[in-house]
Structure 1
Amino acid sequence: MKVKCTGLLTLLAGLASCASVTKAELEDSRANYVKLGFDKLKGNTFSDATKHAKPIAKLHKRDDGYEEMTIVNQQSFYSVELGVGSSDQNVTVLVDTGSSDLWIMGSNNPYCKAGTVSNNKRRVGIRHPEKRAEDFDPFSWLTFSSSEGSTATGTQTIVPSASATLTCSQYGTFATSSSSSFQSNDTEFYIQYGDGTFALGTWGTDTIKVDGLEISNVSFAVANETDSSVGVLGIGLPGLETTNSGSLVTSARDAYEYENFPLVLKRDGIINRNAYSLFLNSSDAQTGSVLFGAVDHSKYTGTLYTIPLINTLSGYSEPIQFEVTLQGLGLQANDTNTTLTTTKIPALLDSGTTLAYFPSNLATMIARGVGATYSSLYGYYMMSCSDIDTSTEIIYDFGGFLIASPLENYIIQTSGSTCILGILPQSGNSIILGDTFLTSAYVVYDLENLEISLAQANVGSTGSDNIDVISSSVPSAVKAPAYSSTWSTSASIATGGNIFTVTVGSSQNNSSGTTTTSGSSGTTTRATSTTTSSTRQNLAIAIQPSWQFVWTGLCMSTVVSIISWFL
């Protein structure tokens, strides 16, 4: 009997082991990605932004009697909440693909109104500053003037009460003295953005909580002086970190990169690869998401095509921002296709910008094609609202595949019958594609391979998520037909050509597709494809609970049989 009892206990222990191993495997199948949903807000500032606001242009008279056109509610914000430090202080930040540093407002910011410093719980968001084309400089934060504020170890700037206008309790501040886990490294942080706001403070490390995750030893800056109402969660390339390319870096010897937020997620095994997907949804949608470490196939249609990042900045050996090659541009309306150009042009994908900026001559081509004319009085392309064809789309060729962006995304209403085209001319031969374009694209940022994968966004999708973890290359993505044909030097923008002869679909992606050829004016058919993957995450999660039940049942059945044999 002693032998029988020992055998029985061993078998029961084995059964317990069956259950515990299955649970661990099930937990592992759900790991390795982080999905952050955000609310989409619009306003003049983050403080007055709401979900339902829309950009609108208003006329008003200046003191000199001239009329001026002003666009209100033109900035976009995407909010998320952070808990910081051992005391879990709640602050609001703005997620931004166009910068790479995390900074939060300190509790001693002199730009705060008296009595408005606290740590109230708020959502965290993404800010999208907007400027007039002639004033816009995406690299203005690279310039630094020591008169803006104090150094990490110096005295704080005295701010006149008239400038201390921020209600800092509204979005939370961080008191380093209230967190026992905060470690300062006594080095200075400074950044300035295209809208003129700045942040100055000190680097340190502490624990960050986001979306139920607690992440230790995260590097961020505490801004003891800033005229911005909220901080920023920069998730761009490490090369764009202020420690590597900022204005305080005086020589190449002083430049260095550190593990910013996406890299920390990889460091801690939360994601497998430094990559994430951005889905802004439609321009009217109130929510969107960023998916760290994975791709959601339900958020796009057709094939996901991969293209390389390019480097247009001198002094850097590899790209530090999300610039790609636009291989051509066209218009599609009423089944008629018109190619505007096939000249290769650098295009910056910038979720920190709302509108779109084009070289002046190309902006004029687009405006003429949709019936808008430039008003030197107001500084915008304008058109009659009644003449807008809602079926018109702007077609972007990124190298053998096309992304269609509805014209209505670029239209800004006025209080009258005239509308503004949200495409602004700028000097130089480069393009900035902001939210008006990005709402039409599903974008996967592979920061390790220095690649971008693009597909037509499935805006308004309501189906279940279909998530694939990114372990090496982007799942189901294929190289674009013109992957190796990228921008190299600036060239004059030539008219004509044909972007509407492309191959859609790929056997590598288990998808179906068609090839359509047309002239610069004619008809075309857009094909869509269905992507499949045997390792998709949601499928694994759906199957494994059933597998656990069967495996447990098999274990139990075996134990019962052997117990019967012993007895």
Structure 2
Amino acid sequence: MRMSASLPLIVLSMVSASNALSLHRRDEPAVLAAPLQRRHVDGILGKRDTSPVDVSIFNHQNTSYWLNLTLGSPAQNFTLALDTGSSDLWVIEGSKKAANVYVSDDSSSFKSLDLPYNATYADGTTALGVYATDILSLGGATVKDFEFIVVNQTSSDVGIAGVGYNISTYASSGLNKTYNNLPYALAASGVTKSAAYSLWMDDAAATSGTIMFGGVNKAKYIGELQTLPVVPVYNRYYSLALALTEVTVQTGDSKSTTTNLPLAVSLDTGSTSTLLPQDLFNDILGALNGTYDEKSGFAYVSCDLIETDYNVTFSFSGAKIDVGLSQLVFFGAVAGWPKNSCVIDLTPSEPGVNILGDSFLRSAYVVYDLENNEISLANTNFNPGKDDILEIGTGADGVPGATLVPSAVSTATGNGVQTATTGVVGATGVTVTAGTTATGSASTGGSAKSTGTSSGMAALPTGNAKLLSGLAGAGLLLMI
């Protein structure tokens, strides 16, 4: 991961949340389940040296979870990378029919909105285009006048299906125009009851998973869902982040750590790895007798750990997710490593970029409730039985299936002050800046979707693959 923007700290304090996820059992629940495919993506790794990298590392680090949908009349098929850490859905424009290419002239229901999209990725990749509307079909459901982006200039060959907060779209942050992105559009069209969805990604050996808009499948998790408040940024919600309060490495000699905690971390499908601050990363790696190879950018441990039942347990105000080392460690090596060395899918993060990526999310059943600013967690059931589907309803009343964690941390006070001045480039190319001073001991998770609006918001850190401010004259910086 490479950063080019200064990110602020989040101020944390103890609060007691009052809302809980509303779940309802119905004979025909208003839910939309869509299968996910885990597939390799061609590309280059980020921070790496010239040492030979085992192909298994390359393949593992370059996988994404893909969502199939159609756009247009007649329908054009797309396979897009699912991304909980960003909010816009975009496809690549083409002049003729081809896989994953959108031909606007072939769709009778296409309408251009003449609103520009201008994003720059951290590796230099650009995505330029225009907002438009068309008919979207997903899993048998149809949404008319769905708003998305037609990208006409990019070095990427894949599009993205962002499912984060609609306030974090480029249109909202850069153009001051909020619209219904995918989760909100499904709710507004009556496909679901609310802008909420659950995610099941199966284990590290699997090639598929499921996203369920508007519903929860009890067969996919163990125990009960525990509901936590999303960490706000300056009293507003932009990033799907939780406060991580403790990490325990459970081996023959278990060790726990609260270094740099509580810490706001983004639960982000746009990142393969889990990225944590250097000191916290060192504590976890040390407890596993591992080593970080700074030249290659990978950490390694003994391959023998894959065969153990040891866990790394992530705690969120007492709600615990056990990530087995069999899910976190995989075969692969860099030239010069000791024999019997395997990669562990943890990475020291850049300042402010704290992400629980796919290596964590596969072990967690996650419900992202955008309406109530809550995330519910349970341990994944890797061997689910018959489906048991509950509808996510409206309102904030709690019912069986989700239990509010009492006195959960959403913010916490601490020492230290950091001032962040950030900006985004609007439609006119004029850079708008906003300065904010924040105190705290926990930094926000992930890359920053930021806006420089008149309300005075500073950098709004979220997950990987997302809007980062700081590229004056070049649009929004994205990290993937």
Shorter-chain TM band: 0.7 to 0.9
Name the structure, 1 or 2, with higher relative contact order (CA <8 Å, separation 6+): 2
- Partner of residue 296, structure 1: 217
Q: Distance in 1 between matches of 2:43 and 2:268?
A: 18
- Deviations along 1:430-466, one digit per CA (max 9) or x if unpaired, are 63110110001000000011110001111132x1111
Secondary structure, aligned partner of 2:101: coil
Aligned AA (1:92): T
| Match status 1:176 vs 2:108 | no
Per-residue CA deviations over 1:298-336 (Å, capped at 9, x if unaligned) read: 111112111111134xxx5412111110011111124x5
1:84 Cα deviation (Å)? 1.6
Give the secondary structure class of the aligned counterpart of 1:222.
strand
Structure 2 residue corresponding to 1:72, chosen from 43, 58, 68: 58
* 2:375 aligned partner: 452
For 2:100 and 2:354, how far apart are their aligned partners in 1?
A: 36
C-alpha spacing 1:214/1:388, structure 2 compared with 1 (3 Å): closer
> Aligned equivalents of 1:491 and 1:83: distance in 2?
44
Instruction: Give distance in 2, aligned partners of 1:198 and 1:395.
Output: 37
Summarize the Cα distance change of 1:468–1:260 in structure 2 as closer, same or farther, 3 Å threshold.
same
Aligned counterpart, 1:132: none
Structure 2 residue 134 is the aligned partner of structure 1 residue 206: yes
Contact 2:229–2:410 at 8 Å: present in 1 too? Answer: no
2: CA distance between counterparts of 1:215 and 1:32?
Answer: 14
Aligned mate of 1:441, from 345, 364, 370: 364
Residue from 33, 36, 39 that aligns with 2:37: 39
Correspondence for 1:87: 74
Query: Aligned residue for 1:428?
Result: 351
Instruction: Say which of 106, 110, 113 aligns to 2:93.
Output: 106
- Secondary structure of 2:254's counterpart equals strand
Q: How does 1:487-566 map to 2 (within 5 A)?
A: 487-489=412-414, 490-491=440-441
Q: CA deviation at 1:81?
A: 2.5
Change (3 A) 1:43 1:258: closer
Return the alpha-carbon distance in structure 2 between the equivalents of residues 440 and 382 of structure 1: 20
1:329 is the counterpart of 2:247: yes
The residue type equivalent to 1:477 in the other structure is: A
Shift of 1:387: 6.1
More strand by share: 2
C-alpha displacement of 1:277: 0.2
Distance in 1 between the 2:104 and 2:297 partners?
Answer: 46
Instruction: Show the counterpart of 1:378.
Output: 296
Question: What is the match of residue 402 of structure 1?
Answer: 320
1:283 — aligned with what? 204
Asked if 1:393 corresponds to 2:298, the answer is no
TM-score (norm 1): 0.63
Counterpart contact for 2:220–2:380, Cα < 8 Å: yes
Instruction: Quickly say closer, same or farther: Cα 1:406–1:44, change in 2 above 3 A.
Output: farther
Matches of 1:228 and 1:485, distance apart in 2 = 36
| Residue number among 271, 278, 286 corresponding to 1:360 in the alignment | 278
Alignment partner of 2:105: what SS? helix
The size of the alignment, in residue pairs, is: 379
In structure 2, what is the equivalent of residue 413 of structure 1?
331
Distance of 1:99 and 1:401 partners within structure 2:
25
Task: Give per-residue Cα distances to partners, 1:197-230, cap 9 Å, x unaligned.
Answer: 3321111111112222222110111111121112
For residue 194 of structure 2, give the secondary structure of its aligned residue in structure 1.
coil
Query: Residue type matched to 1:91 in 2?
Result: F
Residue in structure 1 matched with residue 425 of structure 2 by the alignment: none
Distance 1:437 1:395 in 2: 10
Separation in 2 of the partners of 1:291 and 1:100?
A: 17
Q: Which runs of 5+ in 2 are unaligned?
A: 1-25, 334-338, 415-439, 444-480
Q: What pairs with 1:129-144 in structure 2 (closer than 5 Å)?
A: none
State whether residues 345 and 429 of structure 1, in contact with CA within 8 Å, keep that contact through their aligned partners in structure 2.
Answer: no
Give the 3-state SS of the residue equivalent to 1:207 in structure 2: strand
Residue range with higher mean Cα deviation, 484-493 or 413-422: 484-493
Matched, 1:240 2:190: no
Moved more, 370-379 or 205-214: 370-379
- Alpha-carbon deviations, 1:461-491, whole Å to 9, x = none? 2x11111111134652111133256345543
Classify the secondary structure of the residue corresponding to 1:414. coil
Are residue 469 (structure 1) and residue 397 (structure 2) matched?
no
SS for the counterpart of 2:187 is helix
1:337 to 1:229, Cα distance in 2 relative to 1, 3 A: same
Letter of the structure 1 residue corresponding to residue 441 of structure 2: A
Whether the 8 Å CA contact 1:340–1:365 is kept in 2: the answer is yes
TM-aligned CA deviation for residue 381 of structure 1: 2.4
Greater shift, 391-400 or 207-216, is seen at 207-216
Distance 1:376 1:258, change over 3 A: closer
Give yes or no for contact 1:396–1:402 (8 Å, CA) kept in 2. Answer: yes
Q: Greater share of helix residues, 1 or 2?
A: 1
Q: CA deviation at 1:378?
A: 3.2
**Secondary structure in 1 aligned to 2:331?**
strand
The whole-number CA distance in structure 2 between the counterparts of 1:331 and 1:42 is 30
- Which residue matches 1:309? 230
Percent identity over paired residues: 31
Question: C-alpha offsets along residues 251-310 of structure 1, whole Å, 9 cap, x if unaligned?
Answer: xxx412111111111111111111000111111112100000011111111121111111
The equivalent residue for 1:259 is 180
Change (3 A) 1:424 1:478: same
Matching residue of 2:117: 189
CA 485–292 in structure 1, closer or farther in 2 if over 3 Å, else same: closer
Residue 134 of structure 1 corresponds to none
Q: Give the letter aligned to residue 446 of structure 1.
A: D
Q: Which sections of structure 1, spanning at least 5 residues, go unmatched?
A: 1-27, 47-54, 109-116, 119-168, 494-567
1:452 is aligned with what amino acid? I
What TM-score, normalized to structure 2?
0.73
Contact 1:42/1:76 (<8 A) preserved:
yes
- Please identify, of 271-280 and 29-38, the stretch whose mean Cα deviation from structure 2 is larger: 29-38
Q: Distance in 1 between matches of 2:70 and 2:352?
A: 42
The equivalent of 2:405 in structure 1 is 480
Residue type of the partner of 1:324?
L
Residue of structure 1 equivalent to 2:257: 340
Q: Which has the larger radius of gyration?
A: 1
Corresponding residue of 2:148: 220
Give the whole-Å Cα distance in 1 for the aligned partners of 2:392 and 2:295. 50
The 1:386–1:446 alpha-carbon spacing in structure 2 relative to 1, beyond 3 Å, is closer
